[in-house]
Amino acid sequence: MEKKWWKESVVYQIYPRSFKDSNGDGVGDLNGITEKLDYLAKLGIDVIWLSPVYRSPNDDNGYDISDYRAIMDDFGTMSDFDRLLDEAHRRGIRIVMDLVVNHTSDEHPWFVESRKSEDNPYRDFYIWRPARNGRPPNNWGSCFSGSAWEYDARTDMYYLHLFSKKQPDLNWDNPEVREEVFDMMNWWLDKGADGFRMDVISLISKDPDFPDGVPGINGYASFTEPANGPHVHEYLQEMRKKVLDGRDTLTVGECSGVTLEEAKKYARSDGRELNMVFQFEHMDVDADGSNKWSDKKMDLRELKKIMTKWQKGLDTVAWNSLFWENHDQPRSVSRFGDDGRYRETSAKMLATCLHMMQGTPYIYQGEELGMTNVPFCDISDFRDLDSINAYYELTGRGIFTKEQMLRFLRYKSRDNARTPFQWNSEENAGFTTGEPWIMVNPNYTEINAEEQMKRETSVFCYYQKLIRLRKQHEIIVYGSYDLLLPEDKELFVYTRALGTEKLLVICNFYGNTRCFELPEEWDSRKTKILIANYSDAAVEKTITVRPYEALVLQNRP
């Protein structure tokens, strides 16, 4: 397998609005991030993925961009950005930008022009269609509730927005759009940025017939209906030639609706498109069919099946990215672990299970502390338009009661990941001296970076160790993967192999104590523990696996 720095790296995602506020306005900013680079260096990460920092009216917290070459006022200035990039590079940390080009803001000058008239030179930068029998052109739904089409009286037509109506979709079939995007990407790379995380890049090419899709619980087809459209690979290959070829970048595509076969095209190791993709199948293990709003608990066998399918399916052909969390998902310890009695143990177990797989691991800010979901009380506590819209749409139509919907939001809302980073036990968790833009999780007095950095048994120190191990053992990066005990409902056990070396990863996802028989070929006397989340873990022929225990065994041939 070809060796690459981006395969050996650990990426840390920063959601700037919630990371660190340096000027007391209650919103995180670029100088706040620069202030905390030493923290990240201490954790040991190699790359920062910066969620959008561009000028934006913030309908979707920066994922609606009105100027791709300017910094959002809330976050600072371009010289703050240059300083951040410089200071990161000085510490050997690369910065990957968030490239949001499936859509712009409706306040972007291109859209302001586009909507003026049918013969405006920018008309064809977006996707305009006439009504179909007095109704929207098809049944596609927006990711954030309602139709994906918005009627615009000025020209008596609808424009497509797979996200909010303030996020009109760009028309990638127009070569001028592609040139503008490629130019802008080159501009950021020339500045020194180290690559891109590409927002919903699987959605950029739409079927020109705009066929109806299968309706979900709100009556609309999923926003992922256009995923992997007819020209997406062609456009990414063009991007490779016009932007990425000859540059040493990290590229990861957020590929909603991607299948294994499609992922092999996006991230094939021949390097014609992207380095890797984010797939989302494992984020649906606790969905209720196609409906994410539920509080169903996952079946571990299902999770193992999905992870294994991707581990085996991409091995030697393409490359996986590994994640439990990002700014669109709830906290993993609350979702897949136990955020009560076993919070620290289960956070470490989840980290072990993920970081020992083949692929590039992504850590979302606060995951390294075992930050939890948030006890939101009322719909007025939420800031995320996805959560707020879904609440009103689904309760308004009588599909769920308000109590049900609040329960689902507490479990699944994106705002769970967006409350301020918990730096210390001072007011507002040390995030801001002002009024934070969203509530602080009240558990910051107990869960915070300052306390964990001082304590060797903390989740933070465990992450440090996992990251260090990856640098010391090639097998963690490049070894092949095999699942054991596929039908076990509580244990996730797998092996990694590289040459004569082997690892055995044993993770208990539940609170029961279990027995695990070492496989035949493992001699307990020639086996050592590489890392474990219980300090007194021991290797025997039969291993007692305690609640949420995780152990990684290494053979000593």
Q: Which of 254, 273, 367, 549 is catalytic?
A: 254
d(CA 347, CA 332): 8
* Residue 205: Cβ-neighbour burial (10 angstroms; 0-12, 13-18, 19+): buried
Cβ contact 495:530 at 8 Å: no
119 is an active site residue: no
Tokens of 178: 């592609």
96 CB-near residues (< 8 Å, 6+ apart): 11, 47, 48, 49, 50, 193, 194, 195, 196, 197, 249, 250, 252
Which of 99, 170, 200, 493 forms a contact with ligand GLC (CB under 6 A)?
A: 200
Which of 48, 93, 100, 318 forms a contact with ligand GLC (CB under 6 A)?
A: 100
Query: Least CB distance from residue 521 to ligand GLC, whole Å?
Result: 43
Query: Least CB distance from residue 97 to ligand GLC, whole Å?
Result: 14
d(CA 398, CA 407): 16
The interface mask with ligand GLC, positions 123-162, x = CB under 6 A, is ----------------------------------------
63 binds ligand GLC (CB under 6 A): yes
60 binds ligand GLC (CB under 6 A): yes
Q: Which of 46, 74, 98, 199 is catalytic?
A: 199
d(CA 516, CA 493): 10
CA distances from 192 to 48, 68, 84, 188, 196 (A): 13, 16, 11, 7, 12
Cβ contact 38:508 at 8 Å: no
Query: Least CB distance from residue 143 to ligand GLC, whole Å?
Result: 7
Closest to 539 measured CA to CA, from 557, 510, 520, 516: 516
> 200 or 374, CB closer to ligand GLC?
200
Query: Least CB distance from residue 57 to ligand GLC, whole Å?
Result: 13
In terms of residues, how long is the chain? 557
> 198 or 491, CB closer to ligand GLC?
198
d(CA 345, CA 370): 9
196 binds ligand GLC (CB under 6 A): no
Among positions 312-331, residues that touch ligand GLC (CB under 6 A) are 327-328
394 binds ligand GLC (CB under 6 A): no
199 binds ligand GLC (CB under 6 A): yes
> 49 or 494, CB closer to ligand GLC?
49
- The site for ligand GLC, by CB under 6 A, has a size of 9
β-pair partners for 138: none
> 36 or 161, CB closer to ligand GLC?
161
46 is an active site residue: no
Active site residues: 199, 254
List of residues contacting ligand GLC (CB under 6 A): 60, 63, 100, 163, 199-200, 254, 327-328
